[in-house]
Structure 1
Amino acid sequence: MALFNKIFGGKSNKIKMSTANMRKGAYDIVCPFCFKKFKPNNVVFRTQHSEEGDPEYEKAVDEELNSYNQKIGKAAISELNPVIKPESLPKGNIKIVDGVILEVKDKYDVVTDKRLCPYCHNELPITAGRGPTNIISVVGASQVGKSVYMTCLLYVLEHYAAEDFNGALIAGNSEYNEEIKENQSIIFEYNKMLEPTPKEHVDPLIANFKFKDDTKPPITFVFYDVPGEGMTDKSYIDKHGEHIKNSSGIIFLVDPLQMKTLRKKLSILNKEDQGDFTAKYQEPKDILVYFYENFIGKESGAATDIPTAVVVTKTDMLKNLNDSEYLSPNSNIFRNYKHNTYFNLDEFENINGEMKRFLGKADSPFKGAMEAYFRNTGYFGVSALGSNPQNLKINSSNTVTPLRVEEPFLWLMYKMKYIPGGSEK
């Protein structure tokens, strides 16, 4: 799309780069559903068929899968094709790639590549065991725009940013691909907003990042979009909150309209846009209370080391403030920047400093709590759409132009040592 050609600009400089911590070979698998850890050769498989009269191959109720579904509030599933273990088959029936069992041929000579977690019997991503798996929790209060942000983030990564790091991003499987494509069509083709994530939504979104350098393994990213209402519901957290404590990184979205000092001012300034200014908002610190109660308070020192990107959303609204007390009209957050081949630490420090100062003035209790309970943070400003929607529709005169949406995720990749970081100095 031509509209993105002018969005991503940047500078090319010689830099000093850190070395990414990557290795080729088999990895322990972390199930993206039940979060149990196991060796790649411990996977099990669901057959592609069933055989009446053969107790080993008859359809049956999958107790492990139904136990998992019951735990997270899903309905039980009736009889399914049987589950078989690779060790029950001759070695010649097992296909191993990169030290990982990828498919097997059962005793009826029928091939199956439906690898399952041995504990919960959910299907694993094809890259499981061939590279690291990282769970990314996307959290924030209700109406902060998590689903819209995720849709635009994956779009920018797939179409532009992954290539800048000599890689490619694709959906974990065809089911996830259809979900991503549908959401992106709604926003980028039909100029409409997504419906809010239902509280009952519990399934992760899985994407694979593959470097063109074959010596580097693929990375599996498992994104969990946590509904804002769920974050403040103890029973929901008890059922679905395991992924937060198992996260490799957290993207904490903060809406400027959640900040009391700005809410009224922004509503008046953006009145001509007829945006969705809901009277009742959760405060950012409300979400932190539940983080502390359910997770952080149980960790050593009552603080967490999980890399956490604190992301102020809808920064297009802040342009109208015209108040240097909060942000300069010439602030870098209103311009895209292209991190190319490395994560530019100079640019990060500029944005990190600006957004920390902004939050210190707009919501100092939240900023103070973040500094007390999160030891490893980066602060960012993004606009997923580039403009304020009107009645769940994006103004037809406005083009969807995501602004800096990939930056928090690239920072997490840098913190995980998957991409290098460097300085222009």
Structure 2
Amino acid sequence: MTTVICPYCFDRSRASRLPYRCLMSPTGLRGGTPCDPERDDLWASFTGSAAPPAAYMKGPLFPPPRGLGQLRGGSGSGRAECPRCGVATTMRACVACHSDLPSDYCAQDSRIIALVGAKSSGKSTYVSVLVNELRHRVGQAYGAALAAMGDESQSRDREMAEDLYERLRLPGTTRPAATGFNDPLLYRLSLPRSSRQGSRHTALVFFDAAGEDLKSADSMARYTQYLSAADGIVLLVDPLQLGAVRDALPEDGGPPLPSRETPALQIAADVATQLRSHGRGGSRGRVNTPLAVAVTKTDALRPLLDPHSPLLRNAPHSGGRFDEADRLAVHEETRSLLEGWDSGALWRQLERDFSAVSLFGLSALGSPPPSDAPADAPKSGPQPVRVEDPLLWLLGLRGLIPVAKPPRDGARKGESAA
């Protein structure tokens, strides 16, 4: 039985219960008359927009036909004929909010990846580069394929690629929730089965919370449903927000320093509070949602890193397997750096708040933006380092990719928590 999590309101429903939406095609089969649009008040109420009434006129919904596929709890063929006009449609809709759902999204289990971080931590750039790496370098290593699902995600996916890789323009900042609803990005990740026969498909949902919405627990509450539905959370930490890092970097020739934003320690604590309030806390009070904490902009940290640091090179991904020993080396290196930067305050809090947490270090661009054009990518284009590691770790925990385990006698500090 396939359970679908709406990527907009995060309601959980059986795929077989999702209604279909008529496409209002002019090629109607019953009398040749297409269906007329109807105002969808439930969807209008959910979006909460001040758009004119005409914006909420959509194709009528109708219940899924009862048949063998539905009786068995499946999603059937994914197509159904409108009982009014007779035209087949694949468009489904959420039971709770009536948001449209691509048919291929409803055909496989979904994995919601929550992306949080203060303003200027690079969330939008990170997603753009991560998607490109999953399609190319990382996809080749794992035999994976990634495709955007639905018109909205496909359009934004093209825009992201054109802006960053063709125009060399960095993404704009994510708009706060108060100015409008931020639609998630939907992708279909296809991976080979262990038997090498056929593929397994997973829907990946990336939801980017604006940094302005993470300044307090009260403002973060609007993302509670999103966080509580997440299979994993990626928290991006901008090291240039840390006073010790700002003081240690050279004054001349160093990266431009951003204005101070919400500390990562506060964001992590507020995330844990929200998740506990929605039943994601374990018996010892630690949240059971896996948390990947990634220090970004490691290219700016080169003067502070050992030349042999694992943060300066990509993971091997040998044989299409996630290297757990390499992950532990990165975890320990990052933990050691945080120990020197904030006396280990962030890591101590993470250990006490989350039952599964791992530290990462990454660079989405490989080098800082040009000093005379801070909104541009480097002229060489993005040359990312380790952007895929947090997501692959989360997928490995769910058994979606193979993991190469380290030797039993290679346990290190932090391994039990990570």
Q: TM-score range by the shorter chain?
A: 0.7 to 0.9
Distance 1:93 1:354, change over 3 A: closer
Alpha-carbon distance, 1:98 to partner: 7.2
Q: Does 1:388 align with 2:368?
A: yes
Q: Does 1:272 align with 2:253?
A: yes
Of 386, 397, 410, the match for 1:415: 397
Higher relative contact order (CA 8 A, sep 6+): 1
Distance 1:113 1:99, change over 3 A: closer
Cross-structure match for 1:188: 165
Alpha-carbon distance, 1:93 to partner: 12
Q: Check whether the contact 1:127–1:219 (CA below 8 A) recurs between aligned residues.
A: no
Between the aligned partners of 1:252 and 1:316, the Cα distance in structure 2 is 18
- State the AA in 2 paired with 1:422: A
Q: Check whether the contact 2:90–2:102 (CA below 8 A) recurs between aligned residues.
A: no
SS at match of 1:147: helix
Q: Does 1:114 align with 2:56?
A: no
Unaligned runs of 5+ in 1: 1-25, 322-326
Cross-structure match for 1:347: 326
Cross-structure match for 2:7: 32
Q: Check whether the contact 2:4–2:110 (CA below 8 A) recurs between aligned residues.
A: yes
Q: Check whether the contact 2:235–2:293 (CA below 8 A) recurs between aligned residues.
A: yes
Q: Check whether the contact 1:333–1:382 (CA below 8 A) recurs between aligned residues.
A: yes
- State the AA in 2 paired with 1:278: P
Cross-structure match for 1:336: 314
- State the AA in 1 paired with 2:134: L
Between the aligned partners of 2:69 and 2:360, the Cα distance in structure 1 is 50
- RMSD (CA atoms): 2.8
Cross-structure match for 2:128: 151
Between the aligned partners of 1:424 and 1:238, the Cα distance in structure 2 is 39
Between the aligned partners of 2:223 and 2:325, the Cα distance in structure 1 is 38
Between the aligned partners of 2:3 and 2:334, the Cα distance in structure 1 is 37
Alpha-carbon distance, 1:287 to partner: 1.0
Between the aligned partners of 2:99 and 2:50, the Cα distance in structure 1 is 13
- State the AA in 2 paired with 1:379: L
Cross-structure match for 2:337: 358
Between the aligned partners of 2:389 and 2:253, the Cα distance in structure 1 is 30
Percent identity of paired positions between Structure 1 and Structure 2: 25
Q: Does 1:211 align with 2:191?
A: yes
SS at match of 1:337: coil
Q: Check whether the contact 1:93–1:106 (CA below 8 A) recurs between aligned residues.
A: no
Between the aligned partners of 2:106 and 2:10, the Cα distance in structure 1 is 14
Deviates more, 1:181-190 or 1:207-216: 207-216
- State the AA in 1 paired with 2:286: A
Q: Does 1:405 align with 2:387?
A: yes
Q: Does 1:313 align with 2:290?
A: no
- State the AA in 2 paired with 1:345: E
Between the aligned partners of 1:164 and 1:152, the Cα distance in structure 2 is 16
Q: Check whether the contact 1:170–1:209 (CA below 8 A) recurs between aligned residues.
A: yes
Q: Does 1:41 align with 2:19?
A: no
Between the aligned partners of 1:110 and 1:236, the Cα distance in structure 2 is 44
Of 263, 269, 276, the match for 1:283: 263
Distance 1:74 1:245, change over 3 A: farther
- State the AA in 2 paired with 1:123: D
Cross-structure match for 1:7: none
Unaligned runs of 5+ in 2: 29-33, 408-418
Of 78, 81, 90, the match for 1:105: 81
Of 350, 356, 363, the match for 1:370: 350
Between the aligned partners of 1:356 and 1:147, the Cα distance in structure 2 is 25
Q: Check whether the contact 1:199–1:230 (CA below 8 A) recurs between aligned residues.
A: yes
